[in-house]
Amino acid sequence: MSGAAAHARLTGVTRVYAGPTHVHALGPLDLDVARGEFLAVVGPSGCGKSTLLDVLAGLAAPSSGEAWFEDRRIAGTVPDGIGVVFQEDASFPWLTVADNVAFGLRRAGLDGAEIRRRVEDALGFMGLGEFARAYPAQLSGGMRQRVCIARTLVLAPRFILLDEPFGALDQQTRLLMGDELLRLWRRTGATVLLITHALDEAAMLADRVGVMSARPGRFIAFVPTGWPRDRDSRVVSAPEFGALTAQLWSHLRPESLRAMGQARA
Amino acid sequence: MSRRRAVLGGRIALIAGAVAALEMLCRSGIVDPLTLLPPSGMAAAMVAVIASGSVTGDILRTFTTVAVAFGLAVAFGIAVGALLHAAPRLRRALDPLLASYYAVPLFVFYPLLVALFGLNVVPLIVLGFASATVAMAMSTLTGLDRTPRVLLKAARVHRLGRLRTALLVVLPAASPDLLTGVKLALAYAFIGIIAGEFILSGSGLGYQIAYAYDSFDNRTMYGLMLFVLLIATAANAALHAWEQRVRRRRSGR
Ligand SMILES: Nc1ncnc2c1ncn2[C@@H]1O[C@H](COP(=O)(O)OP(=O)(O)O)[C@@H](O)[C@H]1O
Ligand SMILES: [Mg+2]
């Protein structure tokens, strides 16, 4: 990462949920995400991954420390150029698939022809072409998540954050969706941060995998994968893949045990 | 679709059967036709009364009163629902009041309203408004409670301001429950105002029904009753169909 200016940066960030429960959810942690990088983040459940995403996206203010995007301090609003795909289904159920995807473009005030062109392109790219006029409720969970990805990618964000977007999908679909995400990343040149609980997904997709500790989440290791840029899901059969996954697990296992203890306590 | 058609067909058959049975009871003399007009007689009386033009002013007056009370109730109910949603403490404090609101017969306050405002349309509007607005507020609360937080996050990622978030995300997200509220508000406003006119008023459909009753004018009374029933049912059915269409779209059928 040396030489490249950080595209997004966290310095000394913590996040505490105030209130009667007072949960110290995150940090303190530092993070540099390089421009154009594909970074995966893994960590035990409840360690603060979604909280990390909220802070990076400008959806939540850090309790201490600073968040930066493109050399500007993030304060209070989501900066222009950031796209988020949430863990939960965030498609708008009252809009058709095409209208969901066009939502952000309409707000941006583009003209109709341009919107149609971009929407068609995004629908085609995500394999949603024939569902343009369907409503989200008529689609499976995986298809709805694709709608959300398409809605994000039409806006051509420079930094795409995804929070366990394939969590609800079966293994085969997840592998294929991973391929699509890689294609998307290569085509747009965007910086990607993918939160996942699946070690194989992280190992297969990312340039670099950040491993988080049990709550309050901090980074305990960054593991570079060394894959070429034009990789796809077939890297799972490469001999290094097993070693990589094993390495991630050796970092994560004690943290997962700790997180289980927290959950029981 | 075919199942829905079958259910609808069954419902229509049921109503048609009941009407036909009533018609036969009246015509055969089992029920005294002077006490209860046969349905065909009611329909004929309705057409005659409306066509005579003698109640046109009352019809207009009742419907404008309902429209004003209903409009105010919807706007105020949505505002109160949104306010209570944003202020959970206030909501907790008011919750028992809201929950028992419809246990109180609001009509007992009507004479008081007349004493306060005079025998004009204001007490009627207040009565219709008071009957309707709490249902609207409670439906608004339900709709806002059911709006997934992630949709609000999506609005923020799309960099929408407060107004646009409200109009483009919250309003459509809550629309099925809002429509339920609108449907209830219309029904309650209608009931409140017709009943108010019935109890104490110098004009309006409720007043004309009461007047016909007092002067033993059965044809006018039944004709107007049928008219009120048809209008109320039609308005309710239209709103219900709209609500169902919105809900079906959300449930994927
Ligand atoms: N709004 C909130 N209020 C209080 N605690 C929260 C809130 N959101 C998350 N938490 C807590 O913060 C911790 C981290 O949550 P989260 O970031 O969702 O973890 P992850 O995404 O890694 O599963 C969890 O213990 C969770 O219960
Ligand atoms: Mg999470």
Tens digits of residue pLDDT in B2-32: 788 899 899 999 999 999 999 999 888 888 8
pTM for this predicted structure: 0.87
Opening angle at CA B63, ends B60 and B68, nearest 5: 120
By CA distance, what is A85's nearest residue in B? B154
According to DSSP, residue A217 is labeled B
Of A34, A29, A25, A28, the C-alpha closest to A3 is A34
Q: How many helices (H) and strands (E) does chain A have?
A: 7, 10
In chain A, the domains with their CATH numbers are 6-81+159-264 (3.40.50.300), 91-156 (no CATH)
C-alpha A245/C-alpha A163 separation (Å) is 20
The answer, yes or no, to whether any atom of ligand 1 lies below 6 A from the CB of A98, is no
Q: A16 exposed, middle or buried (CB, 10 Å; 0-12, 13-18, 19+)?
A: middle
Confidence of residue B186 (pLDDT cuts 50, 70, 90): very high
C-alpha B205/C-alpha B127 separation (Å) is 16
By CA distance, what is A88's nearest residue in B? B150
- Look at residue A209 and give its three-state secondary structure: strand
Residues with Cβ within 8 Å of B106's Cβ and at least 6 positions away in sequence, in order, are B127, B130, B131, B192
Compute and round to an integer the Cα radius of gyration of chain A: 18
Residues with Cβ within 8 Å of B246's Cβ and at least 6 positions away in sequence, in order, are A94, B175, B176, B179
- Can you give the pLDDT at residue A3? 40
- Can you give the pLDDT at residue B1? 60
Which residue has 């016909």 as its token pair? B212
- Look at residue A69 and give its three-state secondary structure: strand
A222, β-bridge pairs: A210
> Could you give the ipTM of this predicted complex?
0.91
Q: Identify whether the C-beta of residue B133 lies closer than 8 Å to the C-beta of residue B70.
A: no
Mean pLDDT of the region B157-164: 94
Mean pLDDT of the region B93-116: 90
Six token digits for residue A76: 């209070």
Question: Helices marked H in chain A — which ranges?
Answer: 49-57, 97-107, 112-125, 141-153, 171-188, 199-205, 239-264
The answer, yes or no, to whether any atom of ligand 1 lies below 6 A from the CB of A57, is no
- Can you give the pLDDT at residue B200? 85
pLDDT in tens, A38-96: 999 999 989 999 999 999 999 999 999 999 999 899 988 999 999 999 999 999 999 99
- Can you give the pLDDT at residue B243? 92
Mean pLDDT of the region B195-202: 90
- Can you give the pLDDT at residue A259? 86
Cross-chain residue pair B175–A138, CB shorter than 8 Å: no
Q: Identify whether the C-beta of residue A53 lies closer than 8 Å to the C-beta of residue A195.
A: yes
Of A9, A49, A86, the C-alpha closest to A198 is A49
| B158 CB within 8 Å of a chain A CB | yes
CA distances from B115 to A238, B111, B130 (A): 88, 6, 17
Peptide bond into A216 cis (omega under 30): yes
- Can you give the pLDDT at residue B253? 56
**Closest chain B C-alpha to A239 CA, distance in angstroms:** 40
Enumerate the residues of chain A whose CB falls inside 8 A of the CB of residue B173. 92-94
By CA distance, what is B153's nearest residue in A? A59
pLDDT in tens, B226-238: 999 999 999 999 9
Q: Identify whether the C-beta of residue B73 lies closer than 8 Å to the C-beta of residue B189.
A: yes
Q: How far is CA B26 from the centre of its chain?
A: 31
The answer, yes or no, to whether any atom of ligand 1 lies below 6 A from the CB of A47, is yes
Instruction: Tell me the pLDDT of chain A (265 aa) as tens digits.
Output: 434 479 999 999 999 998 888 899 997 999 999 999 999 999 998 999 999 999 999 999 999 999 999 989 998 899 999 999 999 999 999 999 999 999 999 988 889 999 999 999 999 988 899 999 999 999 988 889 999 999 999 999 999 999 999 877 778 888 888 998 999 899 889 999 999 988 999 999 999 999 999 999 999 999 999 999 999 988 989 999 999 999 999 999 999 888 888 777 6
| Chain A residues with at least one Cβ partner in B under 8 Å | 57, 59, 77-78, 80, 82-84, 86-90, 92-95, 103-104, 107, 135, 137-139
C-alpha A153/C-alpha A139 separation (Å) is 19
Enumerate the residues of chain B whose CB falls inside 8 A of the CB of residue A82. 157
